[in-house]
Chain A
Amino acid sequence: DALLGCHRSYRSRPTHGIGKFKYLLPKELPKKRKEKVQVKEIDAGTEYQYGDVNIQMTSYDLCLVEHFAQYVHRLCNRLSIRVNESYAMPTKTNEVLFMEEKGSKMQLDAVLTTHQRVVQIRGLSSTFAPILLEIIQSSQPEGVHLLVKQHTEADFKSRLKSRPELEELLAEMS
């Protein structure tokens, strides 16, 4: 025990660190644990502060929407408004068919993709909210539809995959 407990390393001697080998092995990265998607607590807000607010931007043009979302995020950072999350909602694809006027009832196609980005804010004071809305409105690009609303659990659940088996079982149980 006394032999094992002795860790004198003689740092001045050239034999210092003579047993080490771990620095020669390749570095093992810590095992990535899958971050479980959890329902975060939704802040209701006090009388003088709004709770979790979602700023949702929708458009057919991907670049415009991305850039606008980045602009809003940076604006909030600059105005020291706490941004909880800044995420993208799944894209929706629409096939547009229209009737030809020549009477042969043909339908031509166009495929449109709708993109949506969401910036979630917390702790917006009631006096500053209209100012923020004004600024965002004044720099709103064309074709981008803006929607500002409070965050609800239904909003969060719309991002998750549907589980038909679970729902079927729950329906059968009750």
Chain B
Amino acid sequence: PCRAQPKKKKKVDVKKEQAQKERMKKKLKKLEKAAPELIPIEDFITPLKYSESNRVRSLPPLSPEESERRVLLMKKWCLFKQKQDEAEKKAIKALVESQQEALKELRLESEELYQAAIRRDEGLFPFERDGPSYTPPLPGYDPPEGKCVDITKVYTQ
């Protein structure tokens, strides 16, 4: 039995739905206006307990031999580092030079191969490498069972 009432319900529903949609759109616009923020990095925030304490470290005075020894050690270290740095620069230069020479020779050999060699290598990235370890892995080592729980603080805007 069709009555006039269900028609009213439909109208009211449609209006309510439209009002709801408009409200949601307004909310969306407001939220989208706010720029996204970067997650704060805990490394750069010094914890309060290190800034509150008043204890100051008082170092004993150095004897002249000790300070002399330290200055000489610093000089030796500087020299060592300089040699290391120069060796690195030399190595880079040598690598670049030898590469350029090889490419020159390749160009003289065949132009096609040279063009193919100059192109970028798609298989190079992503490149992953673990750092060297202090000791090689122990053979037959049985690690205890356990689990790792991620407790990073989740920041929401």
Contact = CB atoms under 8 A, between A and B. Distances in A.
Contacts of B133: 142-143
Interface string A133-169: 1110101111111111110000000011111111001
Interface in A44-63: 45, 47-50, 53, 59, 62
B128 A95 contact: no
A161 B31 contact: no
Contact of B157 (A79, A162, A173): A162
Contact of A169 (B24, B42, B125): B24
A90 B39 contact: yes
A41 interface: no
A18 interface: no
Contacts of A88: 41, 43-44
Interface in B109-131: 118-121, 124-131
A98 B132 contact: no
Nearest to B131: A144
Contacts of B52: none
Interface residues of A, number: 64
A144 B121 CA distance: 25
B31 A137 contact: no
A88 B38 CA distance: 11
A126 B120 contact: yes
B120 A48 contact: yes
A161 B156 contact: yes
B151 A95 contact: yes
B134 interface: yes
Chain B: interface size category: 35 or more
A129 B95 CA distance: 12
Contacts of B32: 166
Contact of A93 (B103, B130, B152): B152
Contacts of A131: 92, 95-96, 99
A115 B43 contact: yes
Contacts of B24: 169, 172-173
B144 A162 contact: no
B32 to A, nearest CB: 7
Nearest to A89: B41
B42 A91 contact: yes
Given A94-B148, A95-B150, A162-B156, 17 more contacts: A45-B120, A88-B41, A93-B150, A93-B153, A94-B149, A95-B149, A97-B149, A98-B145, A98-B147, A115-B43, A126-B121, A144-B131, A146-B127, A146-B129, A146-B130, A148-B128, A160-B38
28 contacts: A38-B35, A48-B120, A59-B131, A91-B41, A92-B152, A94-B148, A96-B148, A96-B149, A97-B148, A98-B147, A115-B43, A129-B121, A131-B95, A141-B131, A142-B134, A143-B131, A145-B130, A146-B127, A147-B126, A147-B127, A148-B126, A148-B128, A160-B38, A161-B38, A163-B157, A169-B24, A169-B28, A173-B25
By Cβ-Cβ distance, the 8 closest A-B pairs, closest first, are A98-B146, A149-B126, A126-B120, A148-B127, A36-B35, A144-B131, A161-B157, A160-B36
